Chains A and B, each alone.
Chain A
Amino acid sequence: MIHFSDETLNEYLDNALVSAVLSEAESHLAVCPECAGRLSELRNLFAEIDLLPERTLERDLVPRVLSRLPESVLPRSVRWLAAAQILAAVIAVVIAWPLVAVVLPVEMIPQLPSLSEIIASLALRFSTLGAFQLSTYSFDIPSFSLGIPSATLAIALLGMSLLWLFSNGLLLIPRSRRHP
């Protein structure tokens, strides 16, 4: 009679034998006292290992862990990307705002400075620090040869920016709050 190896007996107790070998092993163990004895010894060892009790933790680790946590769990590349996206969205809103004001009724639009006004204001501040001066600056929305009116383009740009901000906000809401 060919006996099973220790490896096979280990795999048998670990439930790692494929079904064909498993049925063969069970048939063999039923008639082979030697293999059954070795299996019993191995089973006793497993039971002994499992006897090791859990130790109690004498110190609360929470304060020490919290005091050593890094500032953010987001990877640095993601943080830079998010910052760049926010900056791009703000610039897009500023560019589009004067044209939105043209399309919508005046009373619905809060009066915000246009990009040219912001740049002029910054230039004025800089001019007080030195000789540099930017007296006049005019900004025009670039024209496209696609036949899309600038106002439509600007509103689409503004809409996309707002949609981006809204969607990112949604992603940050825990799943369970979105689907209670």
Chain B
Amino acid sequence: MDDSSDSDLILRARRGESEAYGELVRRTQTAVFNVCYRLTGERREAEDMAQEAFIRAYERLGTFDVERPFLPWIRRVAANLCLNRLSAQTPDQAELEEERDKADIGEGPSSLVEQREQSWRIHTALLALPPRYRVVVELRHYQELSYDEIARTLDRPMSDIKSDLFRARKMLAEKLKDDSFL
């Protein structure tokens, strides 16, 4: 494993060393995949979107400030990419059901099953949100960006971001409350 810093790897990748970029991908691929998985809800699609995000980031590597950390940037690239893709399509509920089967919720000790059920409830509640709400929850809760950073990432006014985030949380709370009575 290459123990070079991220900034060194970026500079080497800019010079055309693809192995250096490969090391950056290796270090960050799980985090980027999780961004895409939370936003798309489907494993294969999330892998494809993560792959696409790395290629998009490579094309923009020439303009990236190497003094800044790579991971937050690539996660924002992935979130934006997923938002654009989601805005152009409607979620396929059948795929979600298929994914649920794969999660093997019903196996293992009861505490583990309960934990998986709860994760699944949150996951489906998130996926029930419109894409523009989903992405602000992703950026605020999982990437811990401020309102201002989210506004700059999505190139939207901060008032819109606040409003979307509050509505998203309200919808999530209602959805989770409804699910707990089922």
Contact = CB atoms under 8 A, between A and B. Distances in A.
Interface of A: 6-7, 10-11, 14, 16, 41-42, 45-46, 48-62, 64-66, 68-75, 78, 172, 174-176
Given A53-B119, A56-B30, A66-B18, A42 B169 contact: yes
A73 B38 CA distance: 29
B132 interface: no
A96 B169 CA distance: 71
A62 B146 contact: no
Contact of B21 (A58, A69, A174, A175): A69
Interface in B21-51: 21-22, 25-26, 29-31, 33-34, 37-38, 43, 47, 50-51
A168 to B, nearest CB: 12
B152 to A, nearest CB: 15
Nearest to A13: B169
B15 A172 contact: yes
Contacts, number: 115
B7 A61 contact: no
Given A49-B137, A66-B22, A55 B5 contact: no
Given A52-B119, A65-B54, A73-B13, 16 more contacts: A6-B166, A16-B146, A48-B118, A49-B126, A49-B172, A52-B142, A53-B119, A65-B25, A65-B58, A70-B55, A70-B58, A71-B16, A174-B8, A174-B11, A175-B66, A176-B8
A66 B8 contact: no
